[in-house]
Amino acid sequence: MIEERLAGLADAAIAEKTQEVEAADWHMIEKSIMLQSLDHHWKEHLSTLDALRQVVHLRAYAQKTPINEYKQEAFALFERMLENIREDVTSSIARVQFRMEAPQPQFDLPVLPDFITTHIDPFSGEDNSADIDGSQLAGITTTIPRAPVDNVAAGEFANLDISRNALCPCGSGQKYKHCHGALS
């Protein structure tokens, strides 16, 4: 009679909780609680089995077969784990409380263009893309400053046997591959 009363009260409490939340959400809550409990207890069970495996050989001193002792104790531990999961899930579901909070206000974010790019032409050092780029939004200049080269013929330093990463002999201060090496 006491069991029936307790079961009736528990069913009424759960029915009241399910009315607070939509059926699909309630199913997800039950599933989440079950998986969390199962995960926790399964990890504990595995670590207990590992500890049992390490000490079960001592049963041989008591004239018992270690493998049979391991099987019996592992089975008992598994049954105890299932019982603990049932109790844990039932108590968690019985204690769960729902608090509905108002949604947070959304802040207005700046509108960014669909495609942001920068393409610097290796010959001129200027941005030659026709679309808007991130550097224009941030106020960054995209042209690379170049020192003017006076009194030098265009092909004078081109096609020389100079390392691409060495400074250009024209005196611009740039690497050869970005200055006169780019012409070749």
Residue type, 26: W
Residue 142: per-residue pLDDT: 45
39 by Cβ neighbours in 10 Å (0-12 / 13-18 / 19+) ranks as: exposed
Give the pLDDT confidence score for residue 49 in this predicted structure. Answer: 92
Cα(first)–Cα(last) distance of the chain, in Å? 99
CA distance 69 to 77: 12
The owner of tokens 């528990």 is: 10
Tokens of 47: 């670590």
pLDDT under 50: residue ranges of the chain: 131, 133, 140-152
Token pair listed for 119: 């393409």
DSSP 64: -
Would you state the structure tokens that stand for residue 45, as one six-digit string?
A: 């069970």
Question: CA-CA distance, 92 to 111, in Å (whole number)?
Answer: 45
Selection from 146, 34, 29 nearest residue 86 by Cα: 34
CA dist list (Å): 38 to 17, 71, 74, 78, 80: 22, 22, 17, 12, 13
pLDDT given for residue 79 in this prediction: 96
